[in-house]
A and B are shown apart, each in its own frame.
Chain A
Amino acid sequence: MQNGFQQKTSVSLGNLYAYAQEISDDHMRDKIVQNLYKKSQQLCESSVIHKNKKNDKRTEKLDAIFTSPIFGFPIMIIMLGIVFYLTIAGANIPSSMLATFFGWLENHLTAFFMYMNSPDWLHGILVLGLYRGTTWVISVMLPPMAIFFPTFALLENYGYLPRVAFNMDRIFKSVGAHGKQSLTMAMGFGCNAAAMLSSRIIESPRERMLAILTNNFVPCNGRWGTLIVLASLFMAAGYTGGLKSLVTTSVIVGIVMVGVIVTFIVSWVLSKTALKGVPTHYTLELPPYRRPKFFDTVIRSSLTKSLSVLSRAIKVAAPAAILTWVIANIYVGDTSILMYIVNFLDPFGKMLGLDGFILMAFLIGLPANEIVLPILLMGYLSTGSLTEVDNLVDLKQIFVEHGWTWLTALNMMLFSLLHFPCGTTLVNIYKETKSKKWTFLAFLIPTVIAITVTFTIAQTVYFLR
């Protein structure tokens, strides 16, 4: 045997391995780890003194509440509600302040362009296209993100999230998934693309693939703006003040529930079909609760998460906004390119209870969900009479003028919830799965579901009318 090692290097590594396997035995790993743990124990016994018998009473008491058969689930739902309510109610005022500020600035920009005698198209591209598109994204996205990400980071650092995985596992197991999928879903509320990376916490491949393929059914931050605006305009229209926020919140929770139900159905179907296999390994650590450093957590999560997601959104929003303005303003005959696309998509959109503008917005908005609503508005405005959106009442006016009803709003919300993942998410899915097939399925499955659901609802409503 030993002579074998005098050969070429590339051969001898294999020989070494084979030789080692020959002299090794079945449970070598067991023996190695047992030895390591014995050594660990010896180190602890000789150098660590425990003065109290019970170590961490606080964690035990808290677990008795957070994972209690009675309070566990209600607390989880209340927590989810609180996070949403904080995000929605807290974002209202800064959002409208930002919108007012950007509107004021736009007037001055326009005045400046007129003073400089710049051509209309330049003002159109830069101010009506680029400026409006990006400032919309900032004023709608930044406040909720600046509340959501830090709040979630606090819950995460406190140690609550693993308890959610613990409580939810039985349910996820019944559809063949992993309890930790509830955590990647939670991350998805912030950003589906980021959640793709966080799916690494699920070690076993099958459950991880389920988490990746279904994450899109959790509305990310980029879609929250759309959902919140539409919910408050069309679902909570008759209410004012705190009650309005409450109704909006309930509608959003309802939409999220739809997403969760779809997640379970799709997980179940996939685990019985494409991902059929043995249920794989499962372990979950429940770390001690630790009070997070409040300001550190808030500042860091704002700076790293909120700003990076926002800057990505702006990077995508800017070109898409310019593109939309350009195709809305280049005419072939007496119809703009945009209107050709819209007219082409319109019959199909109507079948889904939507319209051509909405489908066009979702298509151009593929790079990032944040820009779907601004593109839609730009589409409407380029043909409508209103030139500026100062507040939500004007916004609703635009929608209503284009024939919107609550059905349009509901189906747009559902389409937004269920449709294909954004470009960044698809790229991340490809990076994580290294498979074109799965990336394509991640695009196809939601798209089919979104079309089926909105089509069914629209046709039912048309029939009942």
Chain B
Amino acid sequence: MKNSYTVALAGNPNTGKSTLFNALTGLKQHTGNWAGKTVSLAEGKVEHKGKTVRIIDLPGTYSLFSNSTDEEVARNYIVFEKPDVTLVVLDATSLERNFNLALQVLEMTTNVIICINLIDEADKQGISINEKALTRKLGVPVIKISARNKTGFTLLLDTIDRIHTGKIVCTPEIIFYDEEIERKIRQIEPLVREYLEDSISSRWVALRLLDGDDSLFQQMEKRLLVKGG
């Protein structure tokens, strides 16, 4: 078992993602370069259960469909750098839009925690969220926290640890589309799987292919070339 592992923080802007990042890592932060070289991401550390958890703060984005550099950076990190756990931070007071991003992450990777932040704010506004039902529906842990008041951190860190040690197995719910899209996915996914050999979710890649996300394919070609020699 490794003594350190990586957790990536994804989320919409204005969800308190930075507050969570700051609260978890304290002042032990630095800006580290990663594979992309040109892009630097804030990185911090937290010790938990005798292990060092490296936390990477991804840019806050509305989606991961590579409409902007920030979105590409966040998406590339999750897909290609493969953090051990991806934490999606959601704003409890505007879950509808926040789920849009969370669902995209669930399509991309397996070890995901849905972290509903600003739960104190939601309480004030009379919003109650059934996280157990959401956990069942999404197939990954859903945890309510308040980064501001530092509540829910123990459960959050424990859950991260349990995913890392394999005590919790994430089985993200598959999002089904209209029959027309599903038919096209069925046409192309087997070919993708043959090609990628499970290194990346073939269903997700199939969807991105259908969507015509050429920046992803440039990225894939670049990385495959690097791997090949």
Do the two shown chains form a genuine complex with each other? yes
Chain A residues within 8 Å of B, Cβ to Cβ: 2, 5, 9-10, 12-14, 16-17, 19-21, 23-24, 28-29, 31-33, 35-37, 39-41, 43-44, 46-52, 55-56, 159, 200, 203, 285, 287-288, 290, 293, 296, 300, 303-304, 431
Chain B residues with a Cβ closer than 8 Å to the other chain, count: 60
Contact A43 B178 (CB under 8 A): no
Residues 98-153 of B contacting A (Cβ, < 8 Å): 99-100, 103-104, 118, 121, 125-131, 133-134, 137-138, 148
Number of A-B contacts (CB under 8 A): 141
Contacts of A19 in B (CB 8 A): 188, 191, 209
When C-beta atoms are compared, the residue in chain B nearest to A55 turns out to be: B125
Q: Are A48 and B128 in contact (CB under 8 A)?
A: yes
B220 within 8 A of A: yes
Query: Are B137 and A13 in contact, with the CB atoms below 8 A?
Result: no
Given contacts A13-B217, A203-B68, contact A5 B126 (CB under 8 A): no
Which of B126, B148, B181, B214 contacts A51, CB < 8 Å? B126
| Residues 178-195 (chain B) with a chain A CB within 8 angstroms | 178, 180-181, 184, 187-188, 191-192, 194-195
Interface membership of chain B positions 33-74, coded 1 if the CB is closer than 8 angstroms to chain A and 0 otherwise: 000001000000000000000000000000101011110000
What mask results when residues 198 to 229 of chain B are scored 1 for a CB within 8 Å of chain A, else 0? 00000000110111101001001100110010
Docked-complex contact A35 and B175, CB < 8 angstroms: yes
Chain A residues with Cβ under 8 A from B93's Cβ?
55-56, 288
Name the B residues within 8 Å of A288 (CB-CB).
93, 121
A290 to B120 Cα, complex, angstroms: 11
14 pairs, CB–CB < 8 Å, chain A vs chain B: A23-B188, A24-B209, A24-B212, A29-B211, A32-B177, A33-B63, A35-B175, A40-B100, A43-B134, A49-B129, A50-B126, A203-B67, A203-B68, A285-B13
Residues of B within 8 A of A5 (CB): 191, 194-195
What are the 4 closest A-B residue pairs judged by CB atoms, nearest first? A51-B126, A20-B209, A40-B99, A287-B14
Residues of chain B with a CB closer than 8 A to A44's CB: 95-96, 99
- Contact, CB under 8 Å: A300 / B209: no
A9, A31, A47, A290: most-surrounded residue (chain B CB, <10 A)? A47
With A5-B195, A35-B181, A304-B29 known, 4 other A-B pairs at CB within 8 A are A31-B178, A48-B95, A50-B126, A55-B125
Cβ contact within 8 Å between A2 and B191? yes
CB distance from A14 to the nearest CB of B (A): 8
Name the A residues within 8 Å of B137 (CB-CB): 43, 46-47
If A28-B181, A31-B177, A35-B177 touch, whether A16 touches B69 (CB-CB below 8 Å) is no
Complex partner residue of B195 from A16, A43, A55, CB under 8 angstroms: A16
Contact among A20, A39, A56, A296 for B188, CB-based, below 8 A = A20
A21: shortest Cβ distance to chain B, in Å?
Answer: 6
Assess whether B1 is interfacial by the CB under 8 Å rule. Answer: no
B95 close to A43 (CB less than 8 A): yes
- Nearest Cβ in chain B — how far from A278, in angstroms? 17
Most buried by B among A16, A19, A24, A300: A16
Are B210 and A24 in touch, CB under 8 angstroms? yes
Which residues of chain A have C-beta atoms less than 8 A from B178's C-beta?
31, 35
Q: Is B162 an interface residue (CB 8 A)?
A: no
Q: Are A23 and B96 in contact (CB under 8 A)?
A: no
